[in-house]
Chains A and B, each alone.
Chain A
């Protein structure tokens, strides 16, 4: 029996690094690992293709609201972006291309959903259970992303709804919406893209809006052939374009993080944008937010307001309270008949679902450690979870710029983390010191106090159940890059394998000393 157990242990595959997820974060990590000379790694993906959120979100009208020349890897420039704000299909194709160009296919393990991760304190490595077998890894890079697990509200009676129900990120392309009575729940970034895209086809469209969003004009256009030719022939022009796009957004940051009052100016632009399409003052009042712009994600669309003004669209200024048969009842009592319900209700952002599956050095799960709010040193490492790094971890989100910039900074940190492990050599692990994590979180939360996310007077997905902002980065991307350039060993505890001969009791040692 014991013999068989050992056999099983031997058979279990071991890798240096296991990356979870194959979106921008996971693929970026894979490229970075290869560039650091590390080839002994796998990328675990639950689906059957790469692309992450850009694979899952295929709803009509899906596009990025950061210009593509900025929303792409600096190491994989694409002079051929077709539009300013490229659509989902192009971004997904870009990620497929990155996977091929950088030779990542051999590292991919598709249909390998991670079921559980457990820290082995004896062997100093992670035991990983996946849908296609178990393996162990020295280091785990969790690139599961904040926008990966759809969040569905708990609506009474939904189970008995006779029609079609799906979430925006799980779009059912086989279901024909033509002529149907459709209810769109939510008015977030997905919903405002879906509504204009399906409005011409559906019979009747009812939009349930709890809180109106601020919507800015979208300066989208085709990138001309001349530009593309220039970007291909003279790469510096492409680089310049990226720099300009980046620079503009860097300059906006202080308004979000330090002087939310300045954003009032932007509000008037958004209001004018709405006035152009919505002529009914009563409708306008319902669509005007009562919080500071930027508090919730600022949305970009030229077609949202015009679509709402169409005769086959109704706006219900209230959330969905319950479903009675095929009747949808809003919180304000409005009743609507529907054939299909589409939830544009967002994702599990502040309660990263992977956290429930990770069991660390204390024997607790990451979700348990994070029950009062996510926290991780420099957005990457949580106390008690050695050799475990998160890409797009706590407090790394941006309100106005490209997350790819954050991802690449976190990859710098990952590379230095692995370099430090190499330098230290031997069987060793690095575990963030609780004091260091707390110090980092205190700094973040102190700076968070003046930001628009905390002072703007709204509830948003930046805030967790306790009202604490555990998702946004209260600074510029340049600053984030600076603070994640290096792993400071003073912030970490070096773990060594326990001495086999030693008694488990913490024996007498020389007293700690601090002379001052």
Chain B
């Protein structure tokens, strides 16, 4: 079979060449592919991608950050170069296991980090909220276009009127094993409609389509089942580190209401960045905004470390627009 690579190979959305690659072994023995970009000794950022994506999804953000950050990206189990696992191993617990395994394997002893997650990658951070490894390592977090519960009922890919109708329709979409076929104009239109804002450029759509179409249908469906039944609100309530939220206002997959709910529940929310007109694929639709927010978190919480504030809840001041 003549398969094109699961990403674009030129332009700003093509994945840069990593400095090193690592194979990480997770708690249940699963293997994960991880790569490191940027200079050694620079402040570290670890990024987790979303459903049906891969390390390539972070390409434009990595390009932006790698000049002065050490950026670690990894393939969630079943995606990209991380092998698929048994059907019952696609769980939120596995997401958390994998993240802490990557942190332990790629960071030096005692090194702290800013973690960022998009969509299911954000849920990964939520799921790991109570893991001691995360509490010890993570100085701050960025949750990008994500939600903690009620995904199927809140999605507007199928804009049905009642929550039950939407829940049913989106559950079918999440559970589906139907192959997406080649990256055709129709497929790209559908992907743009479901996941990106009206202003997405042709290369952005092409970049996303290549990545999403490369995801094996079985993996997509297994993770989709997990997403349809997701309930991580309680973990969000215990994610006790400075956390920023970024979301697009035209997101159909995880509508903006999720961002507001996360903002309400997080113990230490550092603001919700609202990206007008953008869809679900914010790191590709506006890599500058996402990288910029990560930079700020690094500046405020990683390089100028304030140990006194650790572990103590800070009174929060936040607004959502």
Which residues of A line the B interface, CB within 8 A? 420, 423-426, 428, 433, 482, 485-486, 488-494, 496, 499, 501-502, 506-507, 509-516
Contacts and interface: CB of A to CB of B under 8 A. Distances in A.
Contact of A509 (B163, B263, B316): B316
B264 A492 contact: yes
B313 interface: yes
Contacts of B257: 488, 490
Nearest to B272: A514
Interface in B274-289: 274-276, 289
Given A489-B264, A494-B264, A426 B237 contact: yes
B159 to A, nearest CB: 16
B9 interface: no
A512 B313 contact: no
Nearest to A515: B273
Contacts of B267: 494, 496
Nearest to B149: A423
Nearest to A507: B315
Contacts of A499: 312-313
Contact of B321 (A482, A490, A491, A514): A514
25 contacts: A420-B233, A423-B149, A423-B233, A424-B234, A426-B237, A488-B257, A489-B265, A490-B261, A492-B264, A493-B264, A494-B237, A496-B267, A510-B270, A510-B300, A512-B271, A512-B319, A513-B273, A513-B319, A514-B271, A514-B319, A514-B320, A514-B321, A515-B274, A515-B289, A516-B321
B163 A485 contact: yes
User: Secondary structure of the B side of the interface?
Assistant: mixed
Contacts of A486: 150, 163
Nearest to A497: B313
Contact of A513 (B265, B270, B315): B270
Nearest to A502: B312
- Residue of B163, B264, B318 with highest tally of chain A CB at under 10 A: B264
B234 A423 contact: yes
Contacts of B289: 515
A424 B237 contact: yes
Contacts of B6: none
A426 B244 CA distance: 23
Nearest to A511: B317
B237 A507 contact: no
Contacts of A496: 267, 313
B15 interface: no
A490 B321 CA distance: 12
B264 A507 contact: no
A403 B203 CA distance: 57
A115 B313 CA distance: 35
Given A490-B260, A514-B319, A515-B289, A425 B237 contact: yes
B81 interface: no
Contacts of B242: 510
Nearest to A485: B163
B304 interface: no
A465 B317 CA distance: 37
Contacts of A509: 314-317
A499 B308 CA distance: 14
Find the residue from B242, B261, B267 having the highest chain A CB count within 10 A.
Answer: B261
Given A496-B267, A514-B321, A506 B315 contact: yes
Contacts of A515: 271, 273-275, 289
Nearest to A430: B264
Given A423-B231, A424-B233, 13 more contacts: A424-B265, A489-B233, A490-B260, A490-B320, A494-B267, A499-B313, A501-B312, A509-B316, A510-B317, A513-B318, A514-B273, A515-B273, A516-B274
A482 B276 CA distance: 28
B162 interface: yes
A42 B142 CA distance: 43
Contacts of A482: 162
Interface in B151-166: 162-163
Nearest to A494: B265
Interface string B236-271: 011000101000000000000100110111010011
A420 B321 CA distance: 24
Nearest to A489: B261
A425 B264 contact: no
A428 B234 CA distance: 11
Contacts of B321: 514, 516
B264 A512 contact: no
Give the residue among A499, A515, A516 with the most B Cβ atoms within 10 A. Answer: A515
